[in-house]
Amino acid sequence: METLALVGRTLGFSLAAGVNLYATVALIGLASRFGWVSLPPGYQPFGSLWVIGIASTLYCVEFVADKVPWVDTLWDAVHTFVRPIGGAALAVAALGDASPTMKILAALLGGAVATSSHITKAGTRVVANTSPEPFSNLILSLVEDGFVVALGLLALKYPLAALVVSLIVLAAIAVLAGMLVSAFRRRFGGRASAVTLP
């Protein structure tokens, strides 16, 4: 059960980090600092006031940037490498004192999971930005914020439940990836064909 809980916490935090790294780090930091739950020793540095303060400040910046069409896409582009690295770091921190091999495997898992959620978020935003109505970005951003906080709290308090939710979300991401590819082709493929026509 402890191993499953560890995997659930790792997947939950990494998945959330791919959507919003700073909110995830701030949440873990607050939980570590105020002892909301018993966390592995690897998460203790997150309880530093410096870590909490910087993560919270960057989350506030992201909260605003994420609501503005095309600014959100630029922000996502900047974080294409930041979020996966953050997801990998969170996965390694979950292990605590482990062998180098296990840390490498955890980093690969966390990075891959964070990358999948980041690409899904970024791709969804690009499609939403082409929509003529102005509210889709705001709604998507608020849903993402709620998802990150909810999944983070679930991973903290009920890691086994976070494992189930994470696996379901990852399966949904795989399905959504195909839908996003089709949406990209419809929105941008037609424009490219129109430009090349004599």
Q: Using H for helix, E for strand and C for coil, what is the string for the chain?
A: CHHHHHHHHHHHHHHHHHHCHHHHHHHHHHHHHHCCCCCCHHHHHHHCHHHHHHHHHHHHHHHHHCCCCCHHHHHHHHCCCHHHHHHHHHHHHHHCCCCHHHHHHHHHHHHHHHHHHHHHHHHHHHHHHCCCCCCHHHHHHHHHHHHHHHHHHHHHHCHHHHHHHHHHHHHHHHHHHHHHHHHHHHHHHHHHHHHHCC
Average pLDDT in the 78-103 region?
91
pLDDT band of 40, cuts 50, 70, 90:
confident
pTM of the model: 0.86
pLDDT, one tens digit per residue, over 119-163 is 999 988 888 888 777 688 889 999 999 999 999 999 999 999 999
pLDDT score, position 87: 96
To the nearest whole number, what is the mean pLDDT of the chain? 89
Average pLDDT in the 6-12 region?
92
Average pLDDT in the 72-87 region?
94
Residue 112 burial (CB count, 10 A):
16
Sign of CA dihedral 23, 57, 88, 129: positive
| pLDDT of 195 strictly over 50 | no
As a whole number of Å, the end-to-end CA separation of the chain is 65
